[in-house]
Structures are given as C-alpha cells and as structure tokens.
Amino acid sequence: MPEITIQATDGSGSFSAYLAMPKQVPAGAVVMIQEIFGVNHAMRSLSDWVADMGFIAICPDLFWRQEPGIQLTDGSKEEWDRAFALMNAFDQQKGIEDLKATLAAVRVMPGCNGKAGTMGFCLGGRLAFMMATESDADCNISYYGVGIDGLLEGKDRITRPLLMHIAELDKFVPEAARKAILAGVEGKPEVAAHVYPGVDHAFARMGGHSWDGRAATIANGRTAELLARCLS
C-alpha cells in the first residue's frame, strides 16, 4: 500500500502515513485523522474516496508512539477493548504535533497546490476540532467528534472554516454535551454544525455497525462542497 514517512518535529523518530493521490494534480490535500482503530481498511477507503474527489489524501499513523501499524475493526469486543486502551494511552498533544507535521509535509509535496485541510472521525473528529483551534489548516471537518464540549474554550481561535457532523443519538456524546457544543459554536460564522437525526456514532463508516446511507450521503455532500471551496 502506498505510504510515505514523516519526521516527528520533536526529534523522537518518524511515522508512516497512507497516501492516496488524485488523477490530476496540482490539487489540494486533506490530512485524514484516524478513529481509535488506527489506519485500518476503513480509513484507507475514506482516503481513497477523498482522492477520487480530486484531492491528495494522507492518513498518518497517530498511534506509532505506542505501536506502529495498528489496524483494528469494530467487529469484536477484543478489538474494541484494544482500541480504547490505545486511545486512553494516546498523548493528544503529541498527536496534534504529528498532524501539524503531516500538514506541513503534504503542503510541499510534489503535486500539492499548497492548500491543505483536515478531516477526522471519532477520536479524529475531536482532533480535527483541535486542529481548527491550534493550526493553520485551510479547513477542518469533524465527523462525530468525542469530548468536544470540553474544548469549547478554544472556539475563539477558530479562524478558518470548520464543518461539524454530529449524530443525534451518539452513544459517546450525550444530549447535554451535544447541546453545549451547539450553543458554544452558535453565531460563529466560520463554524457549520449539523445534527443528523436518528443516527448513532460512526454513521458514515460504510460497513460499520451504525452505517446510515442517507445521513452519510448528506454529510459527505457537505464535506465535498467545503473541500472544493477551500482547497481548489
């Protein structure tokens, strides 16, 4: 599978990133941010989909400091337990450093037009919100990010477009947290937050236990529009 190596900015080593190229360049780039299952088949498929839309997609291995090359699914309790253990031991600030390093690397890659955004899912959705408050990404897209209600103090640092896809029945985001998020970003012109009724966490993971074709199609259409506007 196509991978490149990126140097960590703290001098601690390097990490791999899955790379999917579009048919035509120059093109904008999207840093794909993994769920708690690593750079697995689902994340590679999503990266290929972004490349199909005409963008460079790059998905870094954020768990490399714990164990490089993690690829889990949502298909068994053992894998869920392993994924949660990795997430709980994950240094999110180091993850943001690695995402910034990926963003900088892809912007100067041959074929990139210099524009780059992020798109994250689950844990990656949380990190996409953090990238909106802590990086110079041209846009950021958060699919069912977890724990964002605890990050709202940084909302005033958001200066580039942020698109948030929120599941109404997300088992990891209680109603009170969802309402706090919506209230927190209300009135911010850079932020568009959409709630998808009747769907659970991970509704846009094709083949996953909560896949919902209609909600995913609507969300992905909004995603495509934002990427085309910000990165073309």
Residues annotated as catalytic (active site), given as ranges: 170, 201
Q: In the block, which residue shows the tokens 């041959």?
A: 110
Instruction: Report strand pairing: 191-196 vs 140-143.
Output: unpaired
Q: How far is CA 64 from CA 2, 33, 70, 72, 187, in A?
A: 17, 13, 8, 14, 38
User: 40's torsion region: left (phi>0), alpha (psi -120 to 50) or beta?
Assistant: beta
Asked if 60 and 102 count as a contact pair (C-beta separation under 8 A), the reply is: yes
CA 141 to chain centre: 7
For helices 123-134 and 92-107, angle between their N-to-C axes, nearest 10 degrees: 70
Which residues lie across from 195 on neighbouring strands?
Answer: 166
176: amino acid identity, one letter? A
Strands of 146-219, DSSP E: 162-167, 191-196
Give the closest residue to 58 by CA, choosing from 122, 107, 9: 107
Q: In the block, which residue shows the tokens 């509704």?
A: 203
DSSP 38: B
